[in-house]
Amino acid sequence: MLQSRRGVLTLLPMSATNFPLIERRCGSCRDLLSLKGRRATVMGLGSLGGAVQAVRFLVEAGAMVTVTDQKPAGQLAASLRELSGVAVERYALGGHDEEDFRDTDLVVANPAVRPDHPLLKLAVSSGVAITTEVQLFLERCPAPVAAVTGSNGKSTTTAMLHRIFDIAHQRGVGGRAWLGGNIGVSLLNRLPEIQADDVVVMELSSFQLYWLNQISWSPSLGVVTNFAPNHLDWHDTVKHYREAKQSIFRWQTPGDVAVVNDNDADASQWPTSGNRLGFGWKADESRHPARWGVFSFTVGGGANECRTEVVLPGSREEFPLKSWLRVPGVHNLQNAMAATAAASAWNISLAVVEEALSGYPALPHRLERVGEVEGREFFNDSLATTPESAIVGIEAFERPVVLLAGGYDKGVNLAAMSQVIARHCRVVVLMGQTANEIERQVREASGEGSGPIIVRSSDPQEAFAAAWEASQPGDVVLLSPGCASYDWFQNFRDRGEQFRAFVSKLDERAKDRV
């Protein structure tokens, strides 16, 4: 069970929120908790595994399943192989049929599909319930859930928090820790193993939270790392994006916990009925934080002389959180503060937190060191799909940076990232749809005759080769695009893996020359 310090922290009232694009349809979804004999359409098989697990789960639960995807079978070969032997009723690939959305009991939608998609609107008008793989899991999960969201840092914070819970379990504190959600792991197939005294740690995207709003669900422990405009190609407005994210707190009760970035002017004001814990920076050790939580400060004005304190009812303890971390960057310290604050709500000791974080490696595709070739260090930060996450990646290094940036245009403002590129990068290699705009903004921010060398590329291999050719011994070659990957790559993983493979080939060639 959740071991929060209930009834001690200040409770803030929750205000009603208008959520215009989706009607709360709890009844129709909960009626489908029993799936035996039901007709279900899985919309979007994809290649990341979540839909495959949803199909398996539905079939094993006795549902009659139709799988439909816009892509032809050839582009879905890996997922179809995983479903070999699974008794799927029907495949409709290479396009969708209206009857699969009208004459069914349930549609399992890919969360990335906009809710105003004509076929989803058809399903709703036909009285068909819409759900997602994550919702199928959460409606049946017996354990408390610790969920993390935010515009940046949510994957790292989720992974850090899961590692803390896992180490605690290994040391005999609490049940087993499970990791799932947007971080890329489906837990549907693990439901029979999950016990009531375990804890499930999940990363939740704005898309997933949007759909979860319809069942009035919020986690026992919710964490918001920060908030900045993102995914406006899906949400249309910042207001709608914010309202989707706020679902993480919207349905909390006084026994739940909300961990909030106190330095974020937007997220720090989000309403909740849960107990509130803050995290963030304060000016110096003499300034007592206004809220309970975990806060870092510098000592004597030295950036490297950083201390952190955890402040809880009746206790205040100082500890060297920054020195525990192997991963670079101030942003990772902030992520660690968020994870530590969340762990404190479970009464996990700082000794466990230290053990967990001191052994925490960078996530794949998140400031992941992928090699060193002839004096250049290569970092894969492909998960930096927003300008804000690219900024913290660039600023994590004091050495000259050769940056690979750009990609699919999500409609967000790239000016702040372009200004940081102008100040901090020696070379920038531009990719994808946003290349023109980033180049214009970098030149504008640099001024006449100054700023980084700007290189344009027309495909991934040309971009990687250009970064290598422009680099010098002592440089950091950093893939931190600040944009989504959809124009040149399947997803951010594909982008990062192609970069990693390129570095591996460089390393092999360098060894052959020795």
User: How confident is the model over 61-93, as pLDDT tens digits?
Assistant: 999 999 999 999 998 999 999 999 999 999 999
**pLDDT over 80 at 308, yes or no:** yes
SS3 call for 173: coil
Whether the CA torsion 160, 164, 169, 173 is positive or negative: it is negative
Q: Give the DSSP H or E segment for 379.
A: strand 376-380
- Claim to verify: residue 307 and residue 380 sit in the same structural domain: no
pLDDT tens-digit readout, 200-254: 999 999 999 999 998 999 999 999 999 988 777 788 899 999 999 999 999 999 9
Give all strands of the β-sheet with 39-43 in edge-to-edge order. Answer: 90-93, 64-69, 39-43, 106-109, 129-131
Of the candidates 114, 131, 148, which is a domain's last residue?
131
- Give the CATH number for residue 326: 3.40.1190.10
For 460-473, how does the pLDDT look when each residue is reduced to its tens digit (9 = 90+)? 999 999 999 999 99
> What's the pLDDT score for residue 283?
57
Q: Which DSSP category does 229 fall into?
A: -
Look at residue 156 and tell me if it is in a domain. yes
- Residue 31: pLDDT band (50, 70, 90) is very low
Same domain as 176, residue 313 = yes
Task: Assign 295 to helix, strand or coil.
Answer: strand
What local confidence, expressed as pLDDT, does residue 408 receive? Answer: 92
- Give Cβ neighbours of residue 108 (< 8 Å, ≥ 6 apart): 40, 41, 42, 43, 51, 54, 58, 131, 132, 133, 136
Percentage of residues of the chain with pLDDT beyond 70: 90
Quick one: how far is CA 49 from the chain centroid?
16
Is residue 8 in a domain? no
> Distances from the Cα of 415 to the Cαs of 190, 235, 386, in angstroms?
44, 21, 12
Q: Rounded mean pLDDT of 282-298?
A: 70
34 has pLDDT over 50: yes
Contact 79, 45 (CB under 8 A): yes
Tokens at 112, concatenated:
């990335």
Question: In this structure, are 466 and 376 located in the same domain?
Answer: yes
* Same-domain status, 47 and 149: no
48 exposure class (CB count in 10 Å sphere: 0-12, 13-18, 19+): middle
Residue 300 — very low, low, confident or very high, per pLDDT cuts 50/70/90? low
Tell me the residue range of the domain where 165 lies. Answer: 137-358
- Whether the CB-CB separation of 382 and 479 falls below 8 Å is answered with yes
pLDDT, tens digit, 9 for 90 and up, residues 145-159: 999 999 888 999 999
Q: Is the pLDDT of residue 11 over 70?
A: no
| 417 pLDDT more than 50 | yes
* pLDDT over 60 at 27, yes or no: no
| Percent residues over pLDDT 90 in the chain | 72
Residue 14 lies in a domain: no
Which of the four pLDDT bands, split at 50, 70 and 90, describes residue 313? confident
Same domain, 228 and 276: yes
Domain boundary, last residue among 305, 339, 358: 358
DSSP per position, 392-437: HHHTT-SS-EEEEE--B--S---HHHHHHHHHHEEEEEE-STTHHH
- Residues 88-136: pLDDT tens digits? 999 999 999 999 999 999 999 987 788 889 999 999 999 999 999 999 9
Domain with 107 in it: what CATH number?
3.40.50.720
Verify that 438 and 401 share a domain, yes or no: yes
- The verdict on 283 and 208 lying in the same domain is yes
pLDDT at 492 over 80: yes
Residue 117: CA count within 13 A, CB half-sphere: 18
pLDDT tens across 266-285, in order?
999 999 999 999 999 985 54
pLDDT band with cut points at 50, 70 and 90 for residue 396: confident
Residue where a domain terminates, one of 84, 100, 131: 131
Given this model, what pLDDT does residue 303 score? Answer: 52
In a domain, 298, yes or no: yes
CATH number for 453: 3.90.190.20
| Residue positions counted in the chain | 514
Q: What is the pLDDT of residue 117?
A: 93
φ/ψ of 471, rounded to 5, equals -80, 160
> For the chain, how many structural domains are there in total?
3
Domain check: are 114 and 183 in the same one? no
Q: What pLDDT score does 362 carry?
A: 78
Which residues are registered as beta bridge partners of 380? Answer: 368, 479
- How far is Cα of residue 510 from the mean position of the Cα atoms in its chain? 35
**107 and 145 share a domain?**
no
Burial of residue 345, with CB atoms counted within 10 A of its CB: 0-12 exposed, 13-18 middle, 19 or more buried: buried
Please tell me whether residues 104 and 145 are part of one structural domain.
no
Listing DSSP states for 122-142 in one string gives HHHHTT-EEE-HHHHHHTT--
Mean pLDDT within 459-488: 95
Angle between helices 387-394 and 330-344 (to 10 degrees): 110
Please tell me the predicted confidence (pLDDT) of residue 18.
32
Q: Do 106 and 172 share a domain, yes or no?
A: no
For residue 17, being part of any structural domain is answered with no
With respect to residue 19, please indicate whether it lies within any of the assigned structural domains.
no
- At residue 14, the 3 state secondary structure works out as coil
| Within a domain: 465 | yes
End-to-end CA separation in angstroms for the chain:
59
pLDDT at 256 over 70: yes
Q: Are residues 353 and 395 in the same domain?
A: no
- Residue of higher predicted confidence among 140 and 287: 140
User: Are the C-beta atoms of residues 63 and 36 closer than 8 Å to each other?
Assistant: yes
**Is 305 a domain residue?**
yes
